[in-house]
């Protein structure tokens, strides 16, 4: 158990019904996604959780201004509803009065004499949500109570999610229970476990973004990569240059306000999810030309679409000013994604510019290298580390502390870490590829082919939900359950995640949980965005109406 961490005590009642014990813990593992590192049964029979008397107490918080207290207070509200969903008002995150006159329920309440109390004591309430923050936890459930130990608030959030998945409901007695006493020791395999969402190809509203973030927390994902600007549209607000969104958005209503973006960032923070914005450049920037044509060479402007920024000092100054505004006012994370993919370098075929030292630079590849290097340094001036798509690694010279996101060829991961860079894998996890099912995504390991002594340079990965054919009407069942397969691959140790087929029953259970929590999730038996094959349970498989194959 982690010493002096976060501990949680919930008073639990006697067993609600007899049960045999599975000494392997498989009956508990079946309920958990992603799969924990270690699950150990501790005794016989289920233990009851009293929803009427349950309450939270954050020891050491009181009127403390520390961020961890605010995070825990918000989490207590959410998880009380997730612990006891059949006695909850999902809109207000509060429990409903039962008002029951049932004699067996009154008898049950008399049996549960002790008030259920959740006490939380945090060693480091000020631990920042950042790359590499400790998310480990130790969860122990017994008839005497539930104890969660963790070094940080963020580990406590992951433990609360696991506990919420363990709590079951007895419909006959209308009572809640955990299947058996147990101990779970858990920690993530990778520190960067993300989802890219694209709000530029199709605009996504703030409520839709929040629904996605909430579902991400159920799978213990911790990074939202927000692709905000594109050739097609520009919806990001700017106080210094409001004309960018005024002229670049799809429509007058498909834009974000300053408050909208901050609200999304704060909402994700309370769920332990970092928001990393992507402002793709120097390509994928045609929407910028509607208000600032001076950022482009005339040869590029003559094209109908797919423009590229002119890599001049004036362009870099303009971009630095915007990045300074956005990083100082909205985005708190230490990382920025600055694109660099699919640049139409033919725009620069006849372009010649002067670099900051007064030297003449010409030729598309040299100009690309100039742009990537210059924007990296501008981000560094803003105390931000830069992430680039893998074209920047293949076609430019970058400092070792640049992070490379690999999407074109998985073999590039090994080349990236051999060069001393840190890598994030997205190859194999493109959710807009609807023909690809969850099994291939589950088997896709970020460190395959990477020497053991370089595994630490592989930060993790991201599934990518590009928005060409996705909007608010179909995003949910395009993401899930395939995103859950990626989430387990990034959280769970290789030694506890064997084959996709072995994981399938648990994924079916998790898909049922998502549906119960209001998350749109396609059937496990299908590929991307598939429909149920006919009438059946939430665990049904293709070709088996009403039956589980």
Q: Which are the catalytic amino acids?
A: 342
How many Å apart are CA 142 and CA 138, to the nearest integer?
A: 13
Phi first, then psi, for residue 109 (nearest 5°) are: -65, -35
3-state class (DSSP) for residue 100? coil
How many Å apart are CA 348 and CA 511, to the nearest integer?
A: 49
Q: Report the alpha-carbon angle 412-191-425, nearest 5.
A: 20
Residue among 310, 318, 315 at smallest CA distance from 350: 310
How many Å apart are CA 275 and CA 431, to the nearest integer?
A: 19
> 89: which 2 tokens?
């008002």
Which strands sit side by side in the sheet containing 117-121, from one edge to the other?
A: 7-9, 117-121, 55-59
Return the biggest CA–CA distance within the chain.
88
How many Å apart are CA 8 and CA 10, to the nearest integer?
A: 7
Q: Are 416 and 424 in contact (CB under 8 A)?
A: no
How many Å apart are CA 347 and CA 473, to the nearest integer?
A: 36
How many Å apart are CA 229 and CA 284, to the nearest integer?
A: 8
CA atoms 392, 395, 401, 404: torsion sign: positive
Distance of CA 176 to the CA centre of its chain: 29
In the chain, what is the straight-line distance between the N-terminal and C-terminal CA atoms, in Å?
40
How many Å apart are CA 321 and CA 375, to the nearest integer?
A: 12
């Amino acid at each position: 158990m982690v010493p002096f961490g976060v501990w949680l005590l919930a008073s639990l009642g006697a067993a609600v019904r007899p049960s045999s014990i599975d000494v392997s813990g498989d009956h508990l593992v079946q309920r958990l996604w992603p799969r924990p590192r270690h699950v150990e049964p501790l005794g016989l029979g289920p233990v009851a959780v009293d929803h009427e008397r349950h309450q939270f107490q954050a020891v050491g918080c009181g009127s403390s201004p520390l961020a961890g207290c605010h995070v825990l207070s918000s989490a207590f509200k959410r998880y009380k509803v997730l612990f006891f969903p059949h006695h909850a008002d999902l809109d207000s995150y509060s429990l409903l009065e039962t008002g029951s006159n049932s004699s067996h329920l009154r008898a049950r309440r008399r049996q549960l004499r002790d008030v259920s109390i959740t006490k939380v004591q945090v060693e480091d309430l000020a631990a920042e949500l950042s790359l590499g923050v400790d998310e480990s936890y130790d969860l122990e459930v017994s008839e005497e109570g539930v104890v969660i130990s963790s070094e940080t608030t963020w580990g406590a959030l992951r433990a609360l999610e696991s506990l919420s998945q363990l709590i079951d409901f007895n419909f006959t007695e209308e009572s809640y229970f955990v299947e058996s006493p147990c101990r779970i020791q858990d920690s993530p395999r990778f520190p960067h476990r993300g989802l890219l969402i694209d709000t530029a190809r199709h605009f996504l509203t703030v409520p839709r973004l929040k629904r996605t973030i909430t579902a991400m927390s159920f799978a213990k994902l911790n990074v939202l990569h927000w692709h905000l600007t594109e050739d097609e549209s520009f919806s990001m607000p700017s106080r210094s240059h409001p004309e960018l969104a005024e002229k670049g958005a799809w429509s007058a209503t498909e834009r974000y306000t300053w408050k909208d973006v901050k609200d999304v960032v704060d909402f994700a923070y309370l769920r332990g999810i970092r928001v990393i914005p992507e402002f793709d450049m120097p390509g994928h920037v045609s929407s910028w030309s509607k208000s600032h044509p001076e950022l482009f060479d005339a040869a590029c402007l003559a094209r109908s679409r797919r423009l590229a920024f002119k890599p001049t000092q004036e362009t870099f100054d303009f971009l630095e000013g915007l990045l300074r505004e956005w990083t100082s006012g909205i985005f708190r994370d230490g990382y920025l994604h600055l694109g660099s993919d699919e640049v139409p370098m033919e725009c620069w075929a006849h372009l010649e510019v002067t670099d900051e030292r007064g030297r003449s630079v010409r030729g598309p590849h040299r100009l690309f290298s100039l742009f990537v290097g210059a924007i990296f340094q501008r981000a560094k001036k803003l105390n931000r580390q830069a992430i680039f798509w893998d074209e920047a690694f293949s076609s430019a010279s970058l400092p070792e502390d640049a992070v490379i996101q690999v999407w074109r060829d998985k073999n590039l991961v090994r080349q990236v870490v051999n060069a001393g860079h840190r890598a994030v894998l997205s190859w194999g996890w493109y959710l807009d590829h609807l023909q690809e099912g969850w099994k291939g995504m589950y088997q896709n390991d970020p460190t395959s082919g990477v020497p053991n002594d370089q595994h630490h340079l592989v930060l993790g990965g991201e599934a990518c939900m590009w928005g060409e054919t996705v909007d608010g009407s179909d995003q949910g069942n395009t993401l899930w359950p395939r995103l859950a397969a990626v989430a387990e691959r990034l959280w769970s140790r290789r030694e506890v995640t064997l084959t996709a087929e072995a994981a399938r029953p648990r994924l079916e259970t998790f898909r049922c949980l998502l549906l119960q929590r209001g998350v749109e999730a396609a059937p496990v038996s299908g590929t991307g965005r598939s429909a149920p094959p006919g009438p059946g349970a939430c665990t049904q498989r293709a070709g088996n109406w009403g039956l589980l194959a």
